[in-house]
Amino acid sequence: MSTEAFDAQYQLSQRDYLAHIDFYTWTRHFHVLRDLSAQESGDLLEVGTGDGVVRRCLLPLVRSYTVVDINPQLKPDVLADLRQPQPALVGRFDAVVCTEVLEHIPFDELPLCLRQLRSFLRPGGRLYLTLPHRKGHMLVVTPRQRLLKWRFPVGLTSLSEAWNRFVRRRIWIDPHHCWEIGDGHVTRAQVQARLHDAGLVNERFAQLPYCDYWVLKAPGAPGA
């Protein structure tokens, strides 16, 4: 994809995001919103607001809600690039939400971004993080409305993906992404090593359709 086409994503409006929302995104919202509603009521920061759904749901439930985004069309509270220092945000938040954002930045800059996210948290604060994982999926909804999910290696659930992986020797990823877990270059173990190096402690992990989901904690006791 051309640089112009890649950069065009940073001019999308919330209407654009909502018009193209899919089942995977709603599923991610469900898990993140459920956890945030149960655990957070203080000062919350969202990095990369996208469709704005999380903000609209959580705004009445928390003490304050701040949005940081690089896209001026989304009208964030703080217009900024996560890779640039943001001293005004350091140590101000009880929770940070960053879902489907970091894959839009080159993987070699992931450690910098994670250190930045951790710096925004108060001691004991939580980071709610999702990253896309390129896998095939099978989903079943039971009569009691439980969602059962299975993951398969790329190429086993689709003829086109099999052609790409085993004949063309490439794994397709979203053209707006610089990388994805399971893209043939980046593994979950590599991501988890960088989370550890950033000083973030894994409180909970889940495999969701199309993404991996972490709830991570900053060292220290809340309010310390």
Residue 16 confidence (pLDDT) above 50: yes
For residue 224, the model assigns a pLDDT of 46
Q: Is the pTM of this model over 0.95?
A: no
CA pseudo-torsion sign 197, 209, 33, 15: positive
Residue indicated by tokens 């599923």: 27
* CB-based contact 37:204 (threshold 8 Å): no
For residue 125, the model assigns a pLDDT of 98
CATH number of the structural domain 3-134+179-217: 3.40.50.150
* Distance separating alpha carbons of residues 111 and 116, to the nearest angstrom: 9
Mean pLDDT of 9-17: 89
* Distance separating alpha carbons of residues 189 and 93, to the nearest angstrom: 28
* Distance separating alpha carbons of residues 132 and 180, to the nearest angstrom: 6
Min mean pLDDT across 50-59, 170-179, 193-202 is at 170-179
Q: Where are the domains of the chain?
A: 3-134+179-217, 136-172
Tokens of 120: 């925004």
* Distance separating alpha carbons of residues 114 and 126, to the nearest angstrom: 13
Q: Which residue has the higher pLDDT, 95 or 149?
A: 95
* CB-based contact 74:160 (threshold 8 Å): no
